[in-house]
Structure 1
Amino acid sequence: MPLPPLATLRAFEAAARHLSFKRAASELAVTPTAISHQVRLLEDTLGVRLFDRKPRQVTLTPAGQELYPTLRDGFAGFSAVIDRVRARKSQRGLTVSVLASFAAKWLLPRLAGFQAAHPDIHMRLHTSAEAVDLKSGMADAAVRYGRGPFPGMVVQTLFADRFAPVCSPMLNIRHPGDLRNHALLHLEWLRPDDVTPTWSRWCKLAGVDGVDLAAGLSFSDDTHAIQAAIAGQGVVLASSEMVQSELESGVLVQPFGPVIEGHYYHLIHTGKSSNLAEIEAFGAWLASEITNTQSA
């Protein structure tokens, strides 16, 4: 069934709430005559009287008393929803592209701190192994791992990655030579270079020979390699930053060195985003978290 015009319902609701055409007119910024006209139009549409009109007072008829509570609650509901929508629109947003492993092992365990410090910033993480074109607008900023450079970007260098052998204490590995008797877990890097933390590079630095460098499982996601190491399936060259909680809890151990250096993590953005203030807030928080981690 078609509803009466919204303006007539709004005028009636205000007049019924105030029991005054004059006060309703003041609230809606129209004249009392306009309120009277809208109410009369609603009465004609419904075919019933809604008000008893007296020289200086109006009162609701039984039909008006029946209609008013539903309209009152309806307009109150409209107002509440509109307020929530407006609040979400005004809330600042920030989309950051990150590696899934960095998100899972480093960022997410700490992210509640950023949200507590900046409750007005709605954070969205975009996880991808491939670099996202920030000029496309898919993300406002990105945490990238690598050597760089990042031409045309504003770059905030975060921290250097370091890698060392880690494994389950169940394997009872004590010395580098023990690797000859255990499986090695390998990470598949998208763009390997001379800084890529491979077992070949580590064994050369450690002076260990006789290790079967080709054997063992390979993983495209280092979080899976870490889980395999926890399960006792072998030894993995893992980022010290990515296994910090596992080392602290004792489910993984670093039985020996050496530690080899990897690339750096960087926060990058175009410098032209409309969310520049949010990016800078996120960058400042990252710097603070890194300082706290390194001083702990």
Structure 2
Amino acid sequence: MPPSRRLPPLQALKTFEAAARHQSFRLAAAELGVTPTAVSHQIRLLEETLGLPLFERRVRQVVTTPAGDRLFPVLRDGFDAMAAAVAALRPPAPRRAVTLTALGLFTAKRLIPALGRFRARFPDHELRLHASDDVVELGTGIADLAVRYGRGPFPGLVAETLITDRFGVVASPRLGLRSPEDLEKVPLLRVDWRRQERVPDWRAWAGAAGRLEPAGTAVLTFTDDAHAIQAAIAGHGALIASLTLVADDLAAGLLTAPFGPELPGDGYHLLIPEAERSAPDVIAVRDWLREIAAGSAA
């Protein structure tokens, strides 16, 4: 049988580790929730047990002795290892909600309409949506996972492409567009994109169609793509829009895509920190997003 371990009192060792880490009895006391006098007592007990000084007491300062310098890293690493082992045994604490960040228009057009499906399928999981056109860094406490538009790469994150976007001409059916020539008779809607992704415009569409860029009867410019889509629904003109994001408006007959060509866009990607990929609530959101993507591709 292995010999019995002859160790000083555990509380004295724990107190020494805190005091050596802070190089202060006062800060160690604050961490441990005791008085500086209690810390001093525990250190004195340990020094008497070992038969040598561990701290050099100076005016308003304590400094570890060579013996203290030898003991400190061993205790620090040992306590760290014990804390890690205990944490690994505990089941993860349930998260109150998983937060998904995504572009504002994607949130409004694809996520919010599908919230009922999420609640019905995953009643035990709470989802919080964070709509922002600014990139939110994951792991900072703002969001747990993200849907981002672009090409990547996305270093340090698990990336899954959900949807590859397509763009085309859309307009209210009230405008009666039948052919590209009809674009000369209606206003053209443009978006002054703040973001720098590759977003097709009228010039790109005309190039793909092998035509001159249409002149239209007027040009209305918006700084927000949601406003431009609403203007198109209201019949104020024709727009080059994401067919992914106006899919419900097309299905409802609020918009029509009267003719081609369609232009390729970039992808919407689900991004998950590696450490979160197996969390049950993250898996639930991932499965829900896959269902949304499958419906968008249908």
TM-score class normalised by the smaller sequence: 0.5 to 0.7
Does the CA contact (< 8 Å) of 1:99 and 1:129 recur in 2? yes
Equivalent residue number for residue 167 of structure 1: 171
Q: Work out the CA distance in 2 between the residues paired with 1:135 and 1:127.
A: 17
User: Which of 223, 228, 231 is equivalent to 1:228?
Assistant: 231
Please list the CA deviations of residues 60-85 of structure 1 after superposition, one character each: whole Å capped at 9, or x if unmatched: xxxxxxxxxxxxxxxxxxxxxxxxxx
Does the CA contact (< 8 Å) of 2:188 and 2:218 recur in 1? yes
Provide the identity percentage: 43
TM-score, structure 1 as length reference: 0.64
Q: In structure 2, do the counterparts of structure 1 residues 91 and 120 end up closer, same or farther at CA, with 3 Å as the change threshold?
A: farther
Unaligned runs of 5+ in 2: 1-92
Does the CA contact (< 8 Å) of 2:180 and 2:259 recur in 1? yes
Q: Work out the CA distance in 2 between the residues paired with 1:191 and 1:246.
A: 24
Q: Work out the CA distance in 2 between the residues paired with 1:250 and 1:127.
A: 26
Equivalent residue number for residue 57 of structure 1: none
Whichever residue aligns with residue 272 of structure 1, its letter is A
Q: Work out the CA distance in 1 between the residues paired with 2:212 and 2:257.
A: 20
Q: Secondary structure of the residue that 1:258 maps to in structure 2? A: coil
User: Which of 133, 137, 154 is equivalent to 1:133?
Assistant: 137
User: Which of 199, 203, 216 is equivalent to 2:206?
Assistant: 203
Q: Secondary structure of the residue that 1:177 maps to in structure 2? A: helix
Does the CA contact (< 8 Å) of 1:165 and 1:254 recur in 2? yes
Q: Work out the CA distance in 1 between the residues paired with 2:181 and 2:295.
A: 35
Q: In structure 2, do the counterparts of structure 1 residues 292 and 246 end up closer, same or farther at CA, with 3 Å as the change threshold?
A: closer
2:292 counterpart of 1:280: no
User: Which of 75, 95, 98 is equivalent to 2:102?
Assistant: 98
Spell out the pairing of 1:116-195 with structure 2 (5 A cutoff): 116-192=120-196, 195=198
TM-score, structure 2 as length reference: 0.64
Please list the CA deviations of residues 207-259 of structure 1 after superposition, one character each: whole Å capped at 9, or x if unmatched: 22152389522223222111100111111111112111221221211110000
How much does 1:277 deviate?
2.5
Does the CA contact (< 8 Å) of 1:167 and 1:253 recur in 2? yes
How much does 1:175 deviate?
1.1
Q: Secondary structure of the residue that 2:98 maps to in structure 1? A: strand
2:241 counterpart of 1:238: yes
Unaligned runs of 5+ in 1: 1-88
**RMSD after superposition:** 2.2
Please list the CA deviations of residues 29-73 of structure 1 after superposition, one character each: whole Å capped at 9, or x if unmatched: xxxxxxxxxxxxxxxxxxxxxxxxxxxxxxxxxxxxxxxxxxxxx
